[in-house]
Amino acid sequence: MFLLLAVLYGYFSYGYFTDLRSSILDELETLQVVYAGQELAGVEQYLQDQRNLPTIGRFNYLIADAEGNKVAGDLAQTPRYREFSGGWLGFQLALLNWGEPVDVDFLARRAPLGDGINALVARNYADAIASGGLVFNTLFRAMIATLLLGIVGGFFSAATTLHRFERLNSELSSIVRGNFSQRLTVAGKQGYPRELARAMNQMLDQIGSLMQGVRLVSDNIAHDLRTPLTRIRNQLSQLRQRLDPTGQD
């Protein structure tokens, strides 16, 4: 269960960061298009328009000249960054949250706009961490709830099944003690106990039929033997009288 939870968490995290990188690349392409058509003034206007957007998911920018001097953007200066594979950069900035400075991690990428002007587009991935934590907590709670429901449901299911088999055992015990005409109750049973009761009743019917056949054969044999035995007895009695006319032993 926890392995599945880890796999799902990794899947959602990977998908979020993939979308994050794609959005940064798209934003850099947009800046290049704006600069190609309206040069630096158009880029500054575009950045101003972006600042009016909601802060959640908003990009941060740094436009610098060939010497690295800031030309436009809301980042104060080129931050100290860690360089990752594929030209990606990572850095931290202290942002105010409810009046308190909080270190926030950013993912960034740099691209040339032309004429020695470079653009750095960054986006914080605190949202990714928060979303990942939310997904993890939700999945964890859902799995715990599923596990608890499974345990409770399994307990009641096992208890119900055990009760049904105890009733079957009680009825079978009554039959074994001599009540051969009794049959197992089928009404009210479901699933395997119902099929088992039907099979046992069929078996008991078959056993009863065989016993009735044996009893009939025994009666026929006894009837067939009664006349010869009576004749032999009579003959023995006559022979005895001939040997002992006085009737004494």
> Looking at the domain assignment, is residue 101 inside a domain?
yes
What mean pLDDT is predicted for residues 28-56?
A: 85
> Looking at the domain assignment, is residue 152 inside a domain?
no
pLDDT at residue number 239: 77
Q: Which domain holds residue 104?
A: 2-125
> Looking at the domain assignment, is residue 99 inside a domain?
yes
What is the domain-level CATH number for residue 67?
3.30.450
> Looking at the domain assignment, is residue 61 inside a domain?
yes
Q: How confident is the prediction for the chain on average, in pLDDT?
A: 77
3-state secondary structure the chain: CHHHHHHHHHHHHHHHHHHHHHHHHHHHHHHHHHHHHHHHHHHHHHHHHHHCCCCCCCCEEEEECCCCCEEECCCCCCCCCEECHHHEEEEEEEEEECCEEEEEEEEEEEEEEECCEEEEEEEECHHHHHHHHHHHHHHHHHHHHHHHHHHHHHHHHHHHHHHHHHHHHHHHHHHHCCCCCCCCCCCCCCHHHHHHHHHHHHHHHHHHHHHHHHHHHHHHHHHHHHHHHHHHHHHHHHHHHHHCCCCCC
> Looking at the domain assignment, is residue 68 inside a domain?
yes
- Checking if the pLDDT of 197 tops 50, the result is yes
> Looking at the domain assignment, is residue 234 inside a domain?
no
Digit-coded pLDDT (tens) for 143-163: 788 888 989 988 888 888 787
pLDDT at residue number 66: 83
Digit-coded pLDDT (tens) for 227-241: 777 778 777 887 777
Percent of the residues in the chain that have a pLDDT greater than 70, as a whole number: 78
pLDDT at residue number 204: 81
- Checking if the pLDDT of 174 tops 70, the result is yes
Digit-coded pLDDT (tens) for 80-130: 777 777 788 887 776 544 445 556 678 888 889 988 899 988 888 766 666
> Looking at the domain assignment, is residue 93 inside a domain?
yes
> Looking at the domain assignment, is residue 83 inside a domain?
yes
Digit-coded pLDDT (tens) for 10-21: 666 666 677 888
Count the domains in the chain.
Answer: 1
What mean pLDDT is predicted for residues 170-181?
A: 76
pLDDT at residue number 165: 76
